[in-house]
Amino acid sequence: MANLNRLVQGVSQQFNQNSLSWGSLLVWISGLVVIMMLMVRFSQIY
């Protein structure tokens, strides 16, 4: 979970540095969706 928090902080810092563009926002949302799908799949396995 520490790595996930570090990733969120890095992404938010990039958003603060750069103007928020739709491309980066879509990449960030798709990344969250992939993480959620992986968590659901792991919870089904265990």
- Predicted confidence (pLDDT) per residue in 7-45, tens digit: 788 777 766 666 556 677 888 899 999 999 999 988 887
Q: Which two tokens stand for residue 26?
A: 């879509």
Per-residue DSSP letters for 19-43?
Answer: ---HHHHHHHHHHHHHHHHHHHHHH
Confidence (pTM): 0.45
Measured CA to CA in angstroms, residue 13 lies from 16, 29, 39, 41 at distances of 5, 16, 25, 30
Torsion angle (degrees, nearest 10) of CA 8, 13, 19, 20: 10
Residue ranges covered by each domain of the chain: 21-46
Between residues 1 and 41, which one has the greater pLDDT? 41
Q: Write down the pLDDT at residue 19.
A: 57
Q: Write down the pLDDT at residue 44.
A: 83
